[in-house]
Amino acid sequence: MKIIQVTNVEKFVAQVLPKQPQKNKSIVESILKNVQKNGDSAIRKYEKKFSSAKITSLRLSQNEINDAFSKVSKNKIDAIQLSKSRLEKTESAVKSILKNKIINTDGIKISKKFVPIQSVGCYIPGGLARYPSSVIMSVIPAKIAGVKRIVVVSPPNFNGKIDPLTIVAADLCGANEIYRVGGAQAIAALSFGTKSISKVDKIVGPGGAFVTIAKSMVSERTAIDMLAGPTELGIIADATVNPRYIALDLISQSEHSNDTFCYLITTSEKLAKSVDKIITELSNKIKRNNFVKTSLKENGFIAICKNNSDMIKLANELAPEHLQIMTKNPNIFASKITSSGLVLLGNDTPSSASDYLLGSNHILPTNGFGKIRGSLSVLDFIKIDTQISTSKSVLSKISKYMEIFTEAEGLPNHYEAVRGRIQ
């Protein structure tokens, strides 16, 4: 990994932030238009083109779901159930905070209710790996929120099959429908609807470049959760930490793909050199080392800052998806972090564990969006329903103030709608 002395945080951030690819936009746009026009036949065309799968039925039958269960061991089902139950506990706790309210002010009654979105589509990636854990992370918050229709889409392999564990996870978590379709064509189907796949109100879940671009393009008509790009891991560490832990954590997240963004921020040159040496030693021995080597070489770095303040400033500017704080007093650093998707405290809280079994959600903001939102949660599947009622006497009391506002804004008929009721 590159070891860089940071003298100016702002200039350094501008240099190291990954550039977002633009080349695929026209391809994605053509896919979206084709699916909108030709529906299922366009989906089958793209699945054959991208995965070599010849697909007849897009939706999985109950027999296929049952068959998936027969191929999954009890231990794997237990793992899904444990992850599911821990996330359910977290999301239920969040939902319990959302209490309906009635506000009475001078005869005006306003009610605020928290109601679930009616339908959502959960995109579950495939391709470079399989992600049954992403099923849990997207379906469970929707289920806890009370969403009535939860659709899962996931790309098939060349045989037209979805990974059995992904199917089992979707069924155990309560998905209503499962479809074998991936890529931009899946996003198009969820947004526009086809004969086989009815459109949804919101699309959630991570994906590759085509999926992310497609979500961005359809967001004008269908709500989305976020534009989740390649995995990001930032680590703040001091000289007290075992460098091997840091190396293992950087490797764990960089194995996702060639374009992950993983880095260490420290004030210790000795730690920086130790971590780099260990990564070099391990990189030839580990599985998926093609992804790890490419990603850490092309996008990774070790930043050596002048002081703790610069470490915090750099982390807040980069706003990583995951931020591990591995220092003598992690809580002191954490109290000054404002922009990360997920903060993990201490030497024994690796981001890889949070991806599966700590009860937190691994669908997190990337590309700096940690500055304005956190992980996917029950809040993404709930909207505030507002109802209001008033009376003529209330309108009379506010009439002169209405006239002031409507005159100032040049909208006289707004005032007439009130005046006509109180004359």
Over residues 362-378, the mean pLDDT reads 95
**pLDDT confidence of residue 129:** 64
**pLDDT confidence of residue 208:** 86
Over residues 349-371, the mean pLDDT reads 96
The answer, yes or no, to whether residue 21 has pLDDT greater than 90, is no
221's enclosing H/E stretch is none
- Where do we find the tokens 């706003």? 319
The mean pLDDT value of the chain amounts to 95
**pLDDT confidence of residue 359:** 97
pLDDT, tens digit, for every residue of 38-54? 999 999 999 999 989 89
The answer, yes or no, to whether residue 100 has pLDDT greater than 90, is yes
321 is catalytic: yes
pLDDT, tens digit, for every residue of 166-185? 999 999 999 999 999 999 99
The answer, yes or no, to whether residue 194 has pLDDT greater than 80, is yes
Residue 172 tokens read as 């155990």
Cα torsion 343, 165, 81, 123: sign = positive
Complete edge-to-edge strand list for the sheet that includes strand 232-237: 2-5, 301-304, 261-266, 232-237, 322-326, 342-345
pLDDT, tens digit, for every residue of 291-345? 999 999 999 999 999 999 999 999 999 999 999 999 999 999 999 999 999 999 9
**pLDDT confidence of residue 131:** 87
pTM for the predicted model, two decimal places: 0.93
Higher local confidence (pLDDT), 17 or 137 = 137
Q: Given 91, 255, 321, 362, which residue is catalytic?
A: 321
Alpha-carbon distance of 278 to 243, in angstroms, equals: 8
Alpha-carbon distance of 136 to 95, in angstroms, equals: 17
**pLDDT confidence of residue 293:** 96
- pLDDT band, very low/low/confident/very high, at 279 (cuts 50, 70, 90): very high
Sorted by sequence, the CB contacts under 8 Å of residue 273 that are 6+ apart come out as 3
**pLDDT confidence of residue 58:** 97
Among 287, 290, 273, 276, residue whose Cα is nearest residue 247? 276
Q: Given 10, 322, 403, 414, which residue is catalytic?
A: 322
**pLDDT confidence of residue 127:** 64
Higher local confidence (pLDDT), 330 or 22 = 330
322 is catalytic: yes
